[in-house]
Amino acid sequence: MTLTSKRLNKDSILVFIICIVLFLPVRSFSSESPAGSVTALSASRDKSRIKQLEEKNAELREENGVLKAMLRQANSGTIDINKKIRAIKSEYGVQVHYKYDKKLYFSAGWIRKPSSAEGKQILEKEVERILPIIETFLSRSPKKVIKRNLSDIFLLGELTFYGKSFGATASLDGLYIKSKGVEKGYTKEFLLESLFHEFSSILFRNYDFPKTHWESINPKNFKYSGTGVEVLGSANLYDQTDELLREGFLVKYSQSSLENDLNMLSEWLFTKGRELDVICKKNHRVKLKKEIAQKFYKKIDREYKFN
């Protein structure tokens, strides 16, 4: 290769480089360059995202405030319930239970077959509603009688024995009261009746009741059907008819056992006294049973007063 050819090659290369430089597109690196646009867009998106997060955070704070208020209200209700329960315990010596625990509520004998006792938790709003009714019941009985014969009241949302639904029952010194709300028929009147009804069973077992005298009032050859369990679920169990009243029974259920007969008359004696008086004016046998019941209660404690 000669010097001339080398020189031409160098010149050709130089010309080629100059042409490339001349014909390259001019790029601007001002604030409006593509890189700058991307940066601006990214910043805009960040601001929008931050605003969304702030709005969401504000919503969460508001929801948290509502939840805290609800929790305070719930705790306040529970505190109020427990306060009333302590007051009842202090005044009458009776412990009210509302947090369902099968082993606490029922004895081993009740849990075993054939009794097969079962229960369910009662709603707190029902507990709040029932506590004043319990106080009314307790205040209408001599305090000495309550303290000697009643130690516990168990509240439930459901109560079953022998596979059958019970509205209430009684142990040796405890009452079991079920409530599923006013809309299901568990009114103030019904619950108060249930308390007097079941408490009469405790007194019936703890004191000498004149069974022979009571039974002598019933029609000749009449026999109670059993214990009451056998008729639960039957139609028209609490219906009242002229024929039943003439025979000395307030309702059909009264014919299931002597104890249930007394139970029904007791709840009327303490909660529907005027209605009972009207019935007694027309039905001599009911009147005689009422007189026996009143003497029974007065013998337990002379401070007993009837509605």
The residue behind tokens 């939840």 is: 67
pLDDT score recorded for residue 20: 43
Q: Which of 51-60, 71-80, 250-259, 291-300 has the lowest mean pLDDT?
A: 71-80
Query: What value does the mean pLDDT take over residues 163-172?
Result: 95
Tell me the whole-structure pTM to 2 decimals.
0.75
Listed in sequence order, the DSSP H helices in 152-257 are 188-206, 211-217, 242-247
pLDDT averaged over every residue in the chain:
86
Q: Which alpha helices (DSSP H) does the chain contain, by range?
A: 3-23, 34-92, 102-105, 108-111, 124-139, 143-149, 188-206, 211-217, 242-247, 258-271, 273-282, 284-300
Mean pLDDT for the stretch of residues 11-40: 44
Q: How far apart are CA 268 and CA 270, in angstroms?
A: 5
